[in-house]
Each structure stands twice: as structure tokens, then as C-alpha cells.
Amino acid sequence: MMRSYNTKRSYLPDKFSVTHLFLATQIVIFLLMTLNGGSTNVLTLILFGAKFNPAIAQGEWWRLIAPMFIHIGFTHILVNSITLYYLGTQMESLYGSLRFALIYLLSGLMGNLMSFAFNDSISAGASTSLFGLFAAAIVLGRQFPYNSGIQQMARSFTMLIFLNFFFGFFSAAVDNFGHLGGALGGALAAVFIAMPRTAKSQNGLRLLFLVIYFVSAIFFAYTGFMRTGFALY
């Protein structure tokens, strides 16, 4: 019996994955940083877009997005990449690629804004967004109380997020405000982006959480600018 073999077989995933895109982006950036002085070099971190309050206060607002894809040292990117792969794959399958991407980015943005407001240190890392995904998973558990699989996932992430916050407060190297802001952004975004449309009354709740997100973002931006601006001038 003769068998045919497709020599044009594709080794790309059948479905586009935002998780893989984010993962590849942060790995490429890490390699470029390594070749440009190292990811723990302060000048390299600032050059590639780490959260640096004086630069943000002077108008470099893109530094509120870039830190999501920048990591400080090999252990940092290894842990965050493993977490992003497993957590991101699971959450993207539940939310869909577009909603997942929006929750990830809005979580990271809120985390970096809160860090800008209350943390003067240079910081970077995907953990602002990852904490947002943890929080989004918890919100998902509240939205689907009768789904045992989602409930188990929500309980696991609830324990994980509290353990991370607890141990984070004992380490000066951890950007706790970034993590807290990321969790806040993820929880809010999970409601106004992905709440099931089962009742018209929920549209009001969706709008409320959207307003809370923007008000929080403006407050953190204003606070960070005032604190850093006064220090600069």
C-alpha cells in the first residue's frame, strides 16, 4: 500500500496564540538586552523601556507598556515565562485571544501606573499582567459559580495570589505596588470586557467597572506625576 507524505507540512500552531506571541516577544527582548550590556544593567534597562519614573514624568508614557515584556535577570524571565505559558494558555482558551490580550495588557498598564505612583525604583516584568490574569480567573469563578472546573481554578489562583502578596511584602526586590495594581486592573477588566451578557442589568455593572478602571488609572498617573514631578523640579 502506497502512502503519501506531505512535504509542505506546517510546524506552526493551527490557531494563532497571543500567549505564544507575548512569550516570544519577551524572550527576544531579553536576548537583545543580554547582547546590549545585560538585563541587570541599569542603563540597559532604561534604554529598553523599564519603568523609570523620571522619564515617565517627562512624557515617556510608553514606559507604562514596555515593562511587561522586560525582565531583570535569567531567573526572573524563566519563572515569568513558565507562568505565562501555562496560565496564559489556560486563560486564553477560556476568554478567547482578543479578550485575553486586552485583559493582559490592561492589567500590566494598571500595575505599572500604580508602581509609578508609589514605587520610585526602576522595575520591569510580566508579573503585573500575570497578577491580572490571576485576578481575572477569580472573577471568572464568581461569574460561573456552578462550573466545577472554573471553581477549582479560581480557588487555586486565590491561594496563589495571596501567597505571592504575602511573601512579596518581605522582599525589597519585589514591586508589590505593581502586583497589586495588576491584580486590580485584571479584576476590573475581566468584568467590563468579558462579563457574560445574560442580563441587561449587567451592562450598568460593566460600565461602572470601566469607569472605576479609568478613574483609578488617572489617579495613579496624577499621583505619580505629582510625586516625581516635584522631585525633578
* Whole-Å CA distances, 158 to 145, 155, 193, 203, 217: 15, 5, 21, 26, 24
Count of C-beta atoms within a 10 Å radius of residue 99:
18
Max Cα–Cα distance, the chain, nearest Å? 82
Any catalytic annotation for residue 71? no
The answer to whether residues 107 and 133 touch, using CB atoms and an 8 Å cutoff, is yes
Any catalytic annotation for residue 127? yes
**CA-to-CA distance for 97 and 163, rounded, in angstroms?**
28
Residues with Cβ within 8 Å of 106's Cβ and at least 6 positions away in sequence, in order, are 132, 185, 186, 188, 189, 193, 213
Active-site entry in 123, 127, 129, 216:
127
Active-site entry in 17, 107, 129, 179:
179
C-alpha cell at 166: 504575602
* Residues acting as catalytic residues: 127, 179
